[in-house]
């Protein structure tokens, strides 16, 4: 009889060594991963706070909250009365630089008529 499971195994003449498991490596790995995942479960508040503090990317926050789009994350922030995060200065400057040629063309087209 196996001491941990209480199952009788007629093929075993001696008790298994201490710490022995009847699970194969794949099953053991799956159980270990599930155990780690349970330890790593975060509350919605923890995920949102981590995102707002810049500790978590938007993609990671969306994955942890089981959201499909950034707009869902922004709605979750709004539901809590939290303003959406402001983009960094470099991001704003890069977007402005990319938009300037279009704005100049629109301005030139508008002043020519």
What is the tens place of the pLDDT at every residue in 23-38?
Answer: 566 766 676 666 655 5
Closest to 70 measured CA to CA, from 54, 55, 59, 81: 59
pLDDT of residue 73: 94
- Whole-model pTM? 0.47
Average model confidence (pLDDT) for the chain? 79
User: Is residue 55's pLDDT more than 60?
Assistant: yes
pLDDT of residue 32: 64
**Residue 12 neighbours by CB distance under 10 Å:** 11
Closest to 50 measured CA to CA, from 40, 61, 63: 61
Closest to 51 measured CA to CA, from 32, 74, 28: 74
The winner for highest mean pLDDT among 15-19, 54-58, 78-82, 106-110 is 78-82
Mean pLDDT of the 3-29 span: 60
Domain for residue 95, yes or no? Answer: no
Domain for residue 77, yes or no? Answer: yes
Domain for residue 38, yes or no? Answer: yes
pLDDT of residue 113: 55
Question: 85 or 14: whose pLDDT is higher?
Answer: 85
Domain for residue 98, yes or no? Answer: no
Domain for residue 96, yes or no? Answer: no
Q: What is the count of structural domains for the chain? A: 1
| DSSP assignments along the chain, one per residue | --TTT----TT-SSPPPTT--SS-HHHHHHHHHHHHHHHT---HHHHHHHHHTTSS-HHHHHHHTT-SSHHHHHHHHHHTT-PPPPPPHHHHHHHHHHHHHHHHHHHHHHHT-
Domain for residue 82, yes or no? Answer: yes
Domain for residue 81, yes or no? Answer: yes
Question: 14 or 86: whose pLDDT is higher?
Answer: 86
The whole domain housing 65 covers 25-86
Domain for residue 67, yes or no? Answer: yes
pLDDT of residue 85: 85
């Amino acid at each position: 009889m196996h001491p941990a499971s209480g199952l009788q195994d007629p093929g075993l003449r001696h008790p298994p060594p201490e710490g022995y498991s009847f699970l194969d490596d794949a099953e053991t790995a799956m159980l270990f991963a599930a155990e780690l995942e349970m330890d790593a479960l975060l509350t919605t508040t923890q995920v949102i706070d981590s995102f707002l503090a810049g500790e978590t990317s938007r993609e990671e926050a969306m994955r942890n909250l089981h959201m499909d789009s950034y707009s869902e994350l922004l709605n979750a922030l709004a539901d809590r009365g939290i303003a959406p995060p402001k983009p960094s200065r470099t991001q704003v400057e890069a977007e402005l630089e990319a938009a300037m040629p279009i704005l100049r063309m629109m301005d030139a087209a508008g002043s020519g008529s």
